[in-house]
Amino acid sequence: MGTTNNKTRPFGGGHTPCTRTHQIGALLLVAATFFLFRIFHRPCAHFSSADLSRPSRNGLPSSDGGDLSWPLRGYGPHLDLKIYVYDENEIEGLKALMYGRDGKISDVKCMKGQWGTQVKIHKLLLISRFRTRKKEEADLFFVPTYIKCVRMLGGLDDNEISDTYVKVLSQMPYFRRSGGRDHIFVFPSGIGAYIFKSWEIYINRSIFLTPEGDRTDKKGTSAFNTWKDIIIPGNVDDSMTTDGARVVQPLPLSKRKYLANYLGRAQGKAGRLKLIELAKQFPDKVECPNLQFSGPNKLGRTEYFEHLRNAKFCVAPRGESSWTLRFYESFFVECVPVIMSDQIELPFQNVVDYAQISIKWPSTRIGPELLEYLESIPDKDVEAMISRGRRVRCLWAYASESSPCSAMQGIMWELQRKVRQFHQSAETFWLHNGSYVNRNLVEFPRWKPPMPLP
């Protein structure tokens, strides 16, 4: 033994008269060929033309109506990834995380509201061209759960959620192989991954898709990690995101009654209360009714959007947590969103320059000064921001990634950056002949669930 020359390994061996090195060389060659084959023979998504991501120094994109493109720098313009989507019948317990303990919660119901992204992303991945049915060739693994909805509708309680997640994870050898690093979970609400109370023990290395960035309310901690997780857009009502069928159309700027509005419930939040105060002081400039969840001060869906479109600027203050759906809705009624949520983190920052399409104002400076500032912005600048927003808003719509621009496209761009050629964890080992083994030297294909976690 002892014939392997480690130094030649990374270069594929070659000249040492050593069979083991040759074997490794051959293996590397096979791997390289396979890899190149994949690069050149996979149908690639190609995105071209105008690009909002890297405008020239003065910051304004030159043309209108172009596609958004995945930047050339870094990984090139092509998407090349394979995602395996776990089947609900394949893993015991997965169904409970999707339809509740009795299997009675309907996915159609769960498609609506803020938790809808958990269902939509799953359904869209099922028809994605990046989906693979072979685990062996997958770069990433998607674990479908509709847990936010299931919990809201009483389908599982907190302890059941935790126990079921653990049961599910212990049945996934591939999760064990990477320590969860190549597994994707969606957490669609402010509570984030905390809906699974032991997330920190079991899935803290996995990729979370969530609308929520750093959480600062109530808990001093956040389940979101900007380097590992992906911010997704909020779930704007389908009736507003579908081109052509939009229930409420934007108004011309000159026809808008208000300078700014905020349409939401105050919920005792400081920023929101200040806005309501401001509207009382300047009723002809700011529309800001104190809305309620129900009763006469509740707006219907269409009515809500009819109000929203009636101002040049739509203020999006933080609520329970730092993200706000109103930010995304603004683009579909074509008002300029004014973010007042200091901790907000926005989706797809690899391709979108938010200073081109929105304003972020300190939440500590809500007062007449804000109105003076907004009034000072010439209409042509407002129009320009709106027009640039019109080009990117397709990234907030949960349509299939086969449409040239959609939230799924943006998510794929982000996921591409997570793809690794190699998968490992503290419990993964490998031998001279390419075999993966566990600590007991059992080969990967024979790792039998339930497996110890994490």
Ligand X SMILES: *[C@@H]1O[C@H](CO)[C@@H](O)[C@H](O)[C@H]1NC(C)=O
Q: Which residues bind ligand X (CB under 6 A)?
A: 201, 204-205, 431, 433, 435, 454
How far apart are CB 441 and ligand X at their closest, in Å? Answer: 8
Nearer to ligand X, 270 or 431 (CB): 431
Q: Is 156 helix (H, G, I), strand (E, B) or coil?
A: coil
DSSP 12-56: T--SS--HHHHHHHHHHHHHHHHHHHHHHHS--B---S--SSS--
Q: Which is nearer to ligand X, 194 or 361 (CB)?
A: 194
Contact 168, 97 (CB under 8 A): yes
The amino acid occupying position 413 is W
> Residue 426 contacts by C-beta under 8 Å, 6 or more apart in sequence?
179
Q: What is the DSSP string of 180-198?
A: TTTEEEE--STTGGGGSTT
Q: How far is the CB of 433 from ligand X (least distance, A)?
A: 4
What is the smallest separation between the CB atom of 196 and ligand X, expressed in angstroms?
A: 13
- The C-alpha atoms of residue 287 and residue 135 are separated, in whole angstroms, by 53
Q: Give, in order, the Cα–Cα distances in Å from 150 to each of 32, 99, 116, 187, 208.
A: 44, 6, 11, 12, 18
- What distance in Å separates the CA atoms of residue 323 and residue 215, rounded to the nearest whole number? 9
Contact 389, 331 (CB under 8 A): yes
Q: Which is nearer to ligand X, 128 or 222 (CB)?
A: 222
Nearer to ligand X, 100 or 454 (CB): 454
Query: What distance in Å separates the CA atoms of residue 56 and residue 434, rounded to the nearest whole number?
Result: 48
Q: What are phi and psi of 192, to 5 degrees?
A: 60, -145
| 346 close to 323: Cβ distance less than 8 angstroms | no
Q: Which is nearer to ligand X, 179 or 233 (CB)?
A: 179
Q: How far apart are CA 325 and CA 234, in angstroms?
A: 5
Structure tokens at 144: 């479908």
Instruction: Give least dist CB 415 to ligand X, A.
Output: 19
Q: Are strands 429-430 and 140-142 parallel, antiparallel or unpaired?
A: unpaired
CB 201 to ligand X: min, Å: 5
CB 345 → ligand X: shortest distance, Å? 19
Q: Report whether 67 contacts 47 (CB < 8 A).
A: yes
CB-wise, 40 or 422, nearer to ligand X? 422
When the beta carbons of 353 and 427 are compared against ligand X, the nearer one is: 427
State in angstroms the smallest separation of the CB of 189 from ligand X. Answer: 22
Report the residue number, 132 or 204, with the smaller CB distance to ligand X: 204
Which of 56, 433 has the CB closer to ligand X? 433
State in angstroms the smallest separation of the CB of 179 from ligand X. Answer: 9
- φ and ψ at residue 61, rounded to 5 degrees: -65, 145
Distance in Å, CB of 202 to ligand X, minimum:
8
CA gap 52, 21 in Å, rounded = 49
CB of 171 to ligand X, least distance (A): 19
CA neighbor of 210 nearest in space, from 340, 315, 346, 312:
346
The smaller minimum CB distance to ligand X, of residues 63 and 433, is found at: 433
CB of 57 to ligand X, least distance (A): 38
User: What's the rounded Cα separation, in Å, for the pair 30 and 447?
Assistant: 25
Nearer to ligand X, 48 or 225 (CB): 225
